[in-house]
């Protein structure tokens, strides 16, 4: 869900004439540790799996990240971080935590029952699976509302359709 969301956000920013930079967590770590100032000319950094960097910061090693955050702020560069972990679950020191707590925070939750069919249909179409009304209703009754479980179910369904040729 968060990777799709980060890509969709980048696309939305582009459609509004902005020039976002999309990074995965590993690339973000490299940029921060290298103090890459080329990003200070951009409008927005969108970082997927940002927890990759936070998990690799040792206690007391927050200096480069805090400096990077400050330079982004001074250069008016937006920063959007996507993580599979909450701030409380990140192994960061108080300097980093205070910066993160100052940010807006949102959580991607499981779809409600009314949205489940639309979500399953969209995720199936992304995998090239065409599920009609009856098939969607069948699936809706058997799949968990958790995105991870829906993905697993659709992957199994895709595999079976390949193996059985249907």
If you average pLDDT over residues 3-26, what whole number do you get? 89
Distance CA 28, CA 33 (A): 9
Distance CA 109, CA 111 (A): 6
If you average pLDDT over residues 102-130, what whole number do you get? 80
Q: How many CB atoms are located within 10 Å of the residue 58 CB?
A: 8
User: What pTM value is reported for the model?
Assistant: 0.68
Both structure tokens of 18: 């902005």
Pairing of strands 78-81, 44-48: parallel
Residue 146: phi and psi, rounded to 5, are -75, 135
Name the more confident of 130 and 1. 130
Torsion sign, CA atoms 50, 54, 55, 61: positive
pLDDT in tens, 57-94: 776 778 888 888 888 888 888 889 998 888 888 888 88
The predicted structure's pLDDT at residue 90? 83
Angle, vertex CA 58, rays to CA 54 and CA 63, nearest 5: 80
If you average pLDDT over residues 29-57, what whole number do you get? 82
Torsion sign, CA atoms 94, 98, 100, 106: positive
């Amino acid at each position: 869900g968060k990777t799709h969301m980060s890509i969709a956000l980048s696309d939305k920013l582009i459609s509004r004439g902005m020039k976002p930079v999309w990074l995965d967590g590993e690339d973000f770590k490299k940029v921060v540790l290298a103090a890459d100032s080329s990003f200070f000319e951009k409008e927005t950094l969108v970082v997927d799996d940002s927890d990759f960097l936070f998990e690799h910061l040792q206690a007391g090693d927050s200096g480069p990240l805090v400096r990077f955050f400050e330079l982004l702020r001074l250069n008016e560069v937006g920063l959007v971080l996507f993580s599979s972990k909450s701030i409380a679950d990140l192994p960061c020191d108080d300097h980093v935590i205070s910066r993160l707590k100052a940010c807006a925070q949102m959580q991607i939750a499981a779809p409600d029952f009314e949205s489940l069919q639309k979500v399953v249909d969209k995720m199936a179409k992304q995998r090239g699976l065409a599920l009609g009304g009856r098939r969607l209703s069948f699936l809706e009754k058997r799949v968990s509302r958790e995105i991870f479980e829906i993905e697993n179910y659709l992957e199994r369904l895709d595999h079976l359709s390949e193996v059985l040729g249907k």
